[in-house]
Amino acid sequence: MFAIIGIVVVLGAILSGYLMEHGNLLVLVQPAELIIIGGAALGTLLIANPLHIIKAIIGQVLGVLKGSPFGKKRYLDTLKMMFEFLNKVRKEGLLSVEMDVEKPKESEIFKKYPDFIKDHHVRDFVCDTLRMAITGGVEPFDMDQMMELDMEVHHHESAAPISALSTVADALPGLGIVAAVLGVVITMGAIGGPPAEVGHKVAAALVGTFLGILMCYGVVGPLAANMTKTADSQKEYLHMLRVLLLAFLKGNAPMIALEMARRAIPAHVRPSFDEMEKACKGGGAETMAAAA
């Protein structure tokens, strides 16, 4: 949501300043320049990247426009879900959750948390780790290594679309110059015509440079930067789950594992101890102490 507001502010500030200097908005409307710059930018994207990265770029850009899903509510819901899940393991044993892990979409626990079910990266991260724990024979240290490897692979995959979009952003000023040069070529062909016509063609050529620079520094570049922060937010979320799962696999009680995970949550979205307690149990300190 803030990304959309930011784009509106950028365009609004530029156009407002232009109008304050008595500029003519119609001069900026140059469909041919947009086709040259936008089409060339899309072409460079298709040349440099396979289809799965193109799809990932679209998905991540849409995610930026919607806003980060990893807010305080998502963390609280996850802590509550894992508290319920780990309590079941503690009371009934690891084998009692085998079907929950094998078929999470049919799990009575996981079905109550649609955000978890829909996010297949997070769902697989949790379920694959718990599947290994149920299988047995894997030391917590080795489990931690597997989770770290999973996080590194996923973060690398998340970074590839960002790098691709950043490359396009860097190319946009150059493509704007290409559009401007073509405009100059057209202008030179009409150099003997009326001054008004020549002036219009020069203005159209300069608009190409303007659009390339604006799209680079005002839209595409900031979108890529926001995508980086979103990818970092997902890594922080997975790190919290890693801390929680590892703490439980080492033999800590569910509430202790949750508290260790809560401390791993970034400060700006970290729920307080009381908020976590109310979300997980809805009870007082006595009930929580009994669970620990």
Alpha-carbon distance 161 to 223, whole Å? 11
What pLDDT score does 137 carry?
78
Q: What residue numbers bound the domain in which 211 lies?
A: 71-291
With residues binned 3-state (H G I as helix, E B as strand, rest as coil), the percentages for the chain, rounded to 5, are 85, 0, 15
pTM: 0.85
Residue 283 above 90 pLDDT?
no
Angle between helix 31-48 and 140-189 (nearest 10):
140
Structure tokens at 219: 């839209």
How many domains is the chain partitioned into structurally?
1
- Is 276 a domain residue? yes
- Is 105 a domain residue? yes
Nearest-5° Cα angle at 249, 247 to 250? 65
Which class for 221: exposed (0-12), middle (13-18), buried (19 or more C-beta within 10 A)? Answer: middle
Residue 150 above 50 pLDDT?
yes
- Is 52 a domain residue? no
Task: Give the Å distances, CA to CA, from 22 to 18, 26, 27.
Answer: 7, 12, 12
- Is 123 a domain residue? yes
**Window from 49-58, 88-97, 224-233 with minimum mean pLDDT:** 88-97
Single out the residue of 261, 265, 226, 224 nearest to residue 245, CA to CA.
261
pLDDT tens for each residue of 174-208: 999 999 999 888 888 877 778 878 888 888 888 98
pLDDT tens for each residue of 5-61: 999 999 999 999 999 988 888 888 889 899 999 999 999 999 999 999 999 999 999
Contact of 126 with 241, CB cutoff 8 Å: yes
- Is 154 a domain residue? yes
- Is 40 a domain residue? no
Alpha-carbon distance 241 to 243, whole Å? 5
What pLDDT score does 94 carry?
85
pLDDT-derived band of residue 135, with 50, 70 and 90 as boundaries? confident
- Is 8 a domain residue? no
What pLDDT score does 284 carry?
41
Structure tokens at 75: 């963390």
- Is 101 a domain residue? yes
